C-alpha cells in the first residue's frame, strides 16, 4: 500500500515544524512535482498527512502545503 516515496514524504514532514509546499517536497526529495503531488494526495486520503491551500508569496494564486497528521504518528 505505501512505498518508499510515501515513507520519504512522511519522514520529511515529520522533521519540519512548518507546512511544506508540494514544490518544496519535490525539490527536497529530488522527484517531480507531479509525483510529489500524487503521493501527497494518496497519503492524505489515508489520513497520514493533512493539506490545504495557502496564498502564494509570488504572483497571484494559491499553493498546496502539507503537514503531518499528528494523530497518526
CATH number at residue 16: 1.10.10.10
DSSP lists the bridge partners of residue 65 as 21, 52
Integer Cα distance of 3 and 9 in angstroms = 10
Residue 1 banded pLDDT, cuts 50, 70, 90: confident
Q: What is the pLDDT of residue 70?
A: 75
Which residue in this structure is represented by grid cell 520519504?
8
What's the confidence (pLDDT) of residue 72?
57
What's the rounded Cα separation, in Å, for the pair 63 and 72?
A: 24
Range of the domain at 19: 4-72
Q: How far apart are the C-alpha atoms of 39 and 66, rounded to whole Å?
A: 11
Give 13-71 pLDDT, tens digit per residue.
Answer: 999 999 999 999 999 999 999 999 999 999 999 999 999 998 877 666 788 999 998 77
User: What pLDDT is stored for residue 73 in this prediction?
Assistant: 54
Q: Which pTM does this prediction carry?
A: 0.88
Q: How far apart are CA 54 and CA 71, in angstroms?
A: 22
Q: Report the number of distinct structural domains present in the chain.
A: 1
Amino acid at each position: 500500500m505505501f512505498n518508499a516515496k510515501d515513507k520519504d514524504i512522511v519522514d520529511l514532514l515529520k522533521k519540519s515544524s512548518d507546512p511544506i509546499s508540494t514544490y518544496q517536497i519535490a525539490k527536497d526529495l529530488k522527484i517531480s512535482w507531479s509525483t510529489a503531488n500524487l503521493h501527497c494526495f494518496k497519503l492524505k486520503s489515508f489520513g497520514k498527512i493533512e493539506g490545504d491551500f495557502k496564498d502564494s508569496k509570488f504572483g497571484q494564486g494559491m499553493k498546496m502545503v502539507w503537514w503531518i497528521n499528528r494523530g497518526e504518528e
